[in-house]
Amino acid sequence: MRKWMVASLILGGCAGRAPSNGDSDGDGLSDADEQKLGTNPHDADTDHDGLSDPDELDAGTDPTLADTDGDSYLDPDEIQEGHDPLDPDDRIYQGYWPYNRNKADLVDPGFDGDPLRVGDAFGDPKGAKDQFGQAVDLYDWGGTAEITVIDASATWCKPCQVMSDFLTGDEDEYGFYYSYSDVLDALADGRFRWVTILSADNGGSGSTEEEASRWADTFPNDRVAVLNDAHGVIQAAMNDDTDYYGHAVNSFPMCMAVDANMVVQDRDMCWNVMDYVRAQLAR
């Protein structure tokens, strides 16, 4: 049996535990008990995941591992979101998308129908679902140093299809693979992130979760989240009145690079935004 599973036998249970003599970190576990458990008697949170050693024992998680079940999500985050930190199949996102525990600190401006500019905050398209049919919070992509590229695509758009074909790692029709293979490698390595939002379908604005699923099946890349945009709010925010080489265009695909605060740092045709990403990665 693993040491955290027998903790209650060693400690006589965690509920109502009071600090004892020889408790260097004051977490309610004696130094002797911590030695038996393999935890740090001088650190109340041995694995630094935000959940104290005693609370980990109460939850049945391993106080020496930040992610007990190895599913890429920290134990307290899974508990916070109502998932089982002991079951890798019961994780926050089936697609292993990032999770931002501080997302509530980000101010969501929503969408007012006007195009976003550099310096504007990108809103969360409420109710968006990914290719797994799972509701997502776009602000989970914030909170880290990695750039996130958000692209607005349409199911009928040939350049969008070519762009997504490039993202699969195949040789694409427009030759993006040869021009931006280093950017594709950086995406694969997790040095930046990519979210495709289908903002229009053959019937007009908006798309369904079924269309997002089909798009991801056609252009598979486990580093790319594909979201539907039920009400077409992203089309207006990203696509209208875009200054491209001195003139206004209305075209798909259109990309934006956002920072940790979900603030737009660059907006343009997607290949130009990839130039921006490349420059940022080189800094």
| CATH code where residue 124 lies | 3.40.30.10
Same domain? For 201 and 261 the reply is yes
Residue reference for tokens 């008990």: 33
Reply yes or no: is the peptide bond before residue 159 cis, omega within 30 of 0: no
| pLDDT on residue 31 | 95
Alpha-carbon distance of 154 to 215, in angstroms, equals 10
Q: What range does the domain containing 51 cover?
A: 1-92
pLDDT digits (tens, 9 = 90+) for 10-57: 454 444 454 456 999 999 999 999 999 999 999 999 999 999 999 999
Same domain? For 153 and 242 the reply is yes
Same domain? For 120 and 178 the reply is yes
Within a domain: residue 199?
Answer: yes
Same domain? For 69 and 190 the reply is no
Number of domains in the chain: 2
Same domain? For 181 and 205 the reply is yes
Contact by Cβ (8 Å): 155, 198? yes
Same domain? For 79 and 110 the reply is no
**What average pLDDT is seen over the chain?**
89
Same domain? For 76 and 135 the reply is no
Same domain? For 200 and 135 the reply is yes
Main-chain dihedrals φ then ψ at residue 37, nearest 5 degrees: -80, -20
Question: For residue 80, with 0-12 CB atoms within 10 Å meaning exposed, 13-18 middle and 19 or more buried, which class applies?
Answer: middle
pLDDT digits (tens, 9 = 90+) for 225-263: 999 998 888 988 887 555 555 545 567 899 999 999 999
pLDDT digits (tens, 9 = 90+) for 65-90: 999 999 999 999 999 999 999 999 99
| pLDDT on residue 231 | 87
Within a domain: residue 98?
Answer: no
